[in-house]
Structure 1
Amino acid sequence: MPADQSPYRVNVRDLVHRPGEMREKTLSFAVPEQLGAAAMVVKQGAPLELDLRLEGLHDGILVSADVRTVASGECVRCLDPVTEPLELEFQELFAYSPEDAVDYTVHDDHVDCEPVVRDAVVLALPFQPVCRADCPGLDPETGEKLADQPEREPRDEIDPRWAALEGLLTDDDTPH
């Protein structure tokens, strides 16, 4: 998608070089490209809403935003689908000149919020999502979900590395 057609691009012509001027804007659109690449992502086409506050400063445009979207992926324990709403904030200065810019600049009287939104969303995604906090995961032998087998008794298996020592235990020995 050409940069000038990006849904993240915001016209700030009325704020450029006008310190003290401020306006608010809401953007709502479907995410044009997937955000993230791990167990949890914001899929292409997911709804994304940005509540922006744009403020003109002497050296650039200060963009503050509340971001709302939905992340989806799979539980790292049982592989069930997981969907989680994401709500986050960011604040970034878009400088007028590249010499003053740490990361972002105003281009052709526009700011492109896409890299800032992408970074904020990816950092907010859960690293190891679970369907519920007490998810027991999968049975290591059968691969079946342990949550579907509540009556299953765990087996006492001796680690093969310790099997040779098993013969040293007698019935009256108690492990410490």
Structure 2
Amino acid sequence: MVIKHSPFSVNVRDLVNRPGEMREQLITVPAPEQLGEGLVSVAAGSELDLDLRLESVHEGILVTAEVDATAEGECGRCLTDIALPVRVEFQELFGYHGGEAIEYEVQDDHVDLEPLIRDAVVLALPFQPVCRPDCPGLDPETGLRLADHPELVTPEHSDPRWAALAGFQASEDNGPDASSGADQQREER
């Protein structure tokens, strides 16, 4: 019987039951499906660059991985198309089958990284991605991008309830280090 392994399945035959052995490996694999469902996601078929360190330990194979990908979508403020770099790291122990229930196992001298990569990438995607940190968004009346039309930016209106405080300027002797009048009177006694 021939077992078909996914591109995320890494052969560790040379490391199995050889504690102290280690191998580093760089591989590029296509994303098997779209990773993420929000405003940005890693498209199915886009490249995922994996920098792997596989270490044999007594309990199994310790995998340390760094994954680089590109998420594409749109800015949450101005709806412009954006591409964001995604870099995630994880470390997981793939145990040898020993009768105990373990989450990740070495199976047929392979470790399957797909669920770990999928979870790490999806969790790293921003919930509200922006094209730039100071993106002004869209004009509420015209729907035009404010970054392209700065003349549409209106000055912020101040709340009239705070108008009386607009002319107030704190004096320098009322800072946090200054003693209050009551404190000074106590010191004089």
Give the TM bin, normalised by the shorter chain: 0.7 to 0.9
Partners of 2:67 and 2:88 in 1: how far apart?
Answer: 5
Query: CA 1:153–1:35 in 2, change beyond 3 Å: closer, same or farther?
Result: closer
**How has the CA–CA distance of structure 1 residues 98 and 121 changed in structure 2, closer, same or farther, with 3 Å as cutoff?**
farther
The within-5 A match list for 1:152-163 is 152=152, 154=154
Number of equivalenced pairs: 160
Report the Cα offset of residue 29 of structure 1: 2.2
State the 1:155 CA deviation.
Answer: 8.3
1:89-112 CA distance string (max 9 Å, x none): 111101112654542111111100
Runs of at least 4 residues off by over 3 Å:
98-102, 173-176
Inter-CA distance 175–38: structure 2 relative to 1 (3 Å threshold): same
Q: TM-score, normalised by structure 1?
A: 0.81
CA distance in 2, matches of 1:153, 1:133: 17
**Unaligned stretches of 5+ residues in structure 2:** 165-189
Q: Aligned residue for 2:33?
A: 33
Give, as a single letter, the amino acid of the residue that structure 2 aligns with 1:128.
Q
| Letter in structure 2 aligned against 1:12 | V
Which letter maps to 1:72?
Answer: E
- Give the percent of matched residue pairs that are identical in Structure 1 and Structure 2: 57
Describe the shift of the 1:35–1:124 C-alpha distance in structure 2 as closer, same or farther (beyond 3 A).
same
User: TM-score scaled to structure 2, two decimals?
Assistant: 0.76
Q: Which residue is equivalent to 1:166? A: none
Residues 93-112 of structure 1: pairs in structure 2 closer than 5 A: 93-97=93-97, 99-100=99-100, 102-112=102-112
Q: CA RMSD in A?
A: 2.4
Larger radius of gyration: 2
